[in-house]
Amino acid sequence: MALTGKLTKKLVENLGAGRHGDGSGLYLVVDPSGARRWIVRVVVKGAKNKKGAPLRTDFGLGGADVVTINQARERALEYRRMAKQGLNPRFNAQRAIPTFEEFAQQVHIERMPTWKNAKHGQQWINTLRDYAFPKIGRMPIDSIGQPEVLMCLSPIWTEKHETARRLSQRIKAVLDVAKSKGFREGENPVTAIKDADVLPKVKAKPKHHKAMRWQDVPAFYADLITRNAMAANALRFTCLTGSRTSEVLGMQWEELDFDALVWTCPAERMKTGEEHRVPLTDEMLAIIEPLQAMKSEYVFEGQKRHKPLSNMAMLMLLRRMDVEGATVHGFRSTFRDWASEVASAPREVAEMSLAHKVGSDVERAYARSDLLEKRRTLMQRWSQFVSGGEAKVINIG
């Protein structure tokens, strides 16, 4: 006979953040991130807390995407029976060994609050879903050894080396957590494979984004100005700031200080994970100030109201303009070449303008300034050059 309670499968899938009771001490906990997990609260017979009151203890039963409502009820019943006998479930519960897929899904849920963004978290589990789950997903987590790990890595080690490298890191993380929770013993097989040099050496191929020559930018920009489209506005701003696509398209009005003439891109949208200040020039202001009339949350609004422009919009515009041999990201390289060859800008000024980390960790610890004013001078010169106002050689000291 199936156990019953207040919750249903539909409620489990759709309830909002909070703790939702099923009855008899079983709860569904929904985090603000959307992660769902089961817990059971029991009172251990004869046990007392530090204040002499009956000992009430919560136990996790697993994520709701792995543990069904009926399984949660059965486990909760088992814990309550032990508690009534005076047995603490923390030390007496028989734990079934989860499969690799079950445990990986749980690790993913537990790490959700730590992801830089939702996309990164999804990529983490997708890599395991595509390359590990089909081969070892149904195997008990304690039976995964070197042969099983190699079964996942070997087929893609040379052809998709970067993917394989990330896959190995994620398998290692899952197995490390499993060991910490008592489901495994011994050395992590991923570490053993690395130490033994079992897999062939693969020379990483540097990824270069196609970039426009800096000499061609003024003519390109003059053409861009004639185009009345939000994608054109965003591309002009991207070109002038040397920023990444995601940084520009996610820009909100609250990030702009028109008095100090600074745009502060928050850490969560930066590749470095650190807040970055961008000096605003007259040419940049000429692009964004008219957009305030749209009263949108985002500076560069897309077709959907109060939603940012698509991350493909600028690339598609380049294609419509028949621009060959250049990408949106490539304008960062274009600016860097110009800063070195034309402006003779110091390396640290040019690199900081692109939000690159400069120097060692120790050097950065002592470098308190982000060289904003020197970068302001450099970006003003770049704006003038791009918009056709300057073509002479400039030295930025």
Q: How many CB atoms lie within 10 A of CB 375?
A: 21
Same domain, 235 and 336: yes
Question: Which DSSP string do the residues of 281-344 spell out, in sequence order?
Answer: PHHHHHHHGGGGGG--SBSSB-SSTT-BPPTTHHHHHHHHTT--S--STHHHHHHHHHHHHTS-
Give the rounded distance of the alpha carbon of 351 from its chain centre.
Answer: 23
Under DSSP, is residue 130 helix (H, G, I), strand (E, B) or coil?
Answer: helix
159 and 237 housed in the same domain: no
What confidence tens digit (pLDDT) does each residue in 186-218 have? Answer: 899 999 999 888 888 877 555 556 889 999 999
Q: Tens of pLDDT along 136-178? A: 998 988 899 999 999 999 999 998 898 999 999 999 999 999 8
397 in a structural domain: no
Q: Are residues 246 and 280 in the same domain?
A: yes
CATH of the domain at 148: 1.10.150.130
Instruction: Output the pLDDT for position 304.
Output: 86
For the chain, how many structural domains are there in total? 3
Question: Do 89 and 119 share a domain, yes or no?
Answer: no
As a whole number, the mean pLDDT across the chain is 86
119 in the same domain as 81: no
- Please name which of 279, 281, 286, 280 lies closest in space to residue 225, comparing C-alpha atoms: 286
Sheet strands (E) in the chain = 18-23, 26-30, 36-48, 54-63, 256-257, 262-265, 276-279
Residue where a domain stops, chosen among 48, 78, 94 = 94
Q: pLDDT (tens digit, 9 = 90+) per residue, 37-63? A: 888 888 878 777 767 777 777 878 878
Residue 64's pLDDT is what?
A: 84
What pLDDT shows up at residue 47? 73
- One domain for residues 239 and 377: yes
Assess whether pLDDT exceeds 60 at residue 13: yes
Query: What is the pLDDT at residue 46?
Result: 77
d(CA 43, CA 47): 8
Encode pLDDT of 81-125 as tens digits: 888 887 767 666 555 678 899 889 888 888 877 776 777 788 899
> Residues 192, 228: one domain?
no
Residues 238 and 323 in one domain: yes
On whether residue 350 sits in a domain, the answer given is yes
Angle at CA 330, nearest 5°, toward 327 and 333? 165
pLDDT digits (tens, 9 = 90+) for 286-296: 999 999 998 89
Residue type, 312: M
Judge if 90 and 131 occupy the same domain.
no
Q: What is the span of the domain harbouring residue 134?
A: 101-196
Q: Are residues 49 and 183 in the same domain?
A: no
pTM greater than 0.75: no
Instruction: Return the exposure string of 9-41: e unless at least 16 CB atoms fall within 10 Å of the residue's CB, then b.
Output: eeebeeeeeeebebeebbbbbbeeeebbbbbbb
Q: Which two tokens stand for residue 299?
A: 């500076």
**For the chain, how big is the Rg over CA atoms in Å?**
28
What is the rounded CA–CA span in Å between residue 384 and residue 393? 12
- The Cα–Cα gap between 19 and 30 comes to 6
In the structure, what pLDDT confidence band is assigned to residue 244 with cuts at 50, 70 and 90? very high
Q: Is 86 left (phi over 0), alpha (psi -120 to 50) or beta?
A: left
- The CA-atom distances, in angstroms, between 383 and each of 29, 78, 309 are 52, 69, 23
What are the backbone angles phi and psi of residue 120, rounded to the nearest 5°? -65, -40
In a domain, 1, yes or no: no
pLDDT of residue 208: 57
Q: Cα(178)–Cα(157) distance, rounded to whole angstroms?
A: 25
**pLDDT score at 364:** 57
Asked whether residue 58 is assigned to any structural domain, the reply reads yes
- Domain-located, residue 265: yes
**Residue 240 is assigned to a structural domain of this protein:** yes
**Co-location of 39 and 159 in the same domain:** no
Residues 380 and 280 in one domain: yes
| CATH code, domain carrying 276 | 1.10.443
Given pLDDT bands bounded at 50, 70 and 90, which one contains residue 393?
very low
> What is the signed CA dihedral for 157, 161, 163, 169, rounded to 10 degrees?
70
Query: Looking at the domain assignment, is residue 164 inside a domain?
Result: yes
Q: In whole angstroms, give the CA distance from residue 73 to residue 25.
A: 10
